[in-house]
Amino acid sequence: MSKERTLELLRKTRVEVAPETFFLVSLPHQDWLKLIQNPELSPRMTAPFMIFRDQWEVTLLLDEIDFRTIRDAIREAKTAGNYRLLSFDVELDFTVVGFLAAVTKILAEAEIPIIALSAFSRDHLLIKQEDLAKTLKILGNYVGELC
């Protein structure tokens, strides 16, 4: 996909900002196993969340309500908070090349740190709350709509 085609796709994209504030949590595998044994500590099914397990850790993305629910159970976990979730509402098939790279380049040039997340058909970013206004102002020059 050419750079022009990628920018054209970006111009057709709607960026949605979730109203919630989010936290990232890093847990050792054994702590994750203890956590899932208690159903009361599971994320609500009405808010966005993510669970990713790799060989080093289990990473959770939780909104502030779910984070507070499990906080006492994960006192030793590494956490980072005060993130807002930006979702790019455009279905990206597996032939699309460079979409997320174009977005992250735009934000890198503005010195805005991001955490990139990808779902099956859409990309998402975590942006610190204090960087949200600047991020939206910059992305507004490239995307079709901001919500």
Chain segment 53-112, per-residue pLDDT in tens: 999 999 999 999 999 998 888 888 999 999 999 999 988 888 788 889 999 999 999 999
- What is the phi/psi pair of residue 105, to 5°? -65, -45
Question: Quick one: pLDDT at residue 5?
Answer: 78
Confidence of residue 40 (pLDDT cuts 50, 70, 90): confident
Residue range(s) occupied by CATH 3.30.2130.10 in the chain: 3-20+83-146
Rounded alpha-carbon distances, angstroms, from residue 20 to 40, 46, 52, 90: 21, 12, 20, 21
| CA–CA distance, 118 with 98 (Å, rounded to integer) | 13
| 3-20+83-146: in CATH 3.40.50.11540 | no
Question: Quick one: pLDDT at residue 39?
Answer: 79
Question: Quick one: pLDDT at residue 61?
Answer: 94
Structure tokens at 34: 């203890």
| Across 128-143, average pLDDT | 96
Average pLDDT, the chain: 90
Dihedral in degrees, nearest 10, Cα atoms 130, 131, 136, 141: 150
Q: pLDDT tens-digit profile of 110-120?
A: 999 999 999 99
Confidence of residue 1 (pLDDT cuts 50, 70, 90): low
| 22-82: in CATH 3.30.70 | yes
Residue 50 has pLDDT above 70, yes or no: yes
Q: At what angle do helices 99-109 and 132-139 cross, to 10 degrees?
A: 120
Q: Which of 72, 84, 87, 2 is nearest to 31 (CA)?
A: 72
Q: Which residues contact 99 (CB under 8 A, 6 or more apart)?
A: 6, 9, 10, 88, 92, 123
Residue range(s) occupied by CATH 3.30.70 in the chain: 22-82
| CA–CA distance, 59 with 68 (Å, rounded to integer) | 16
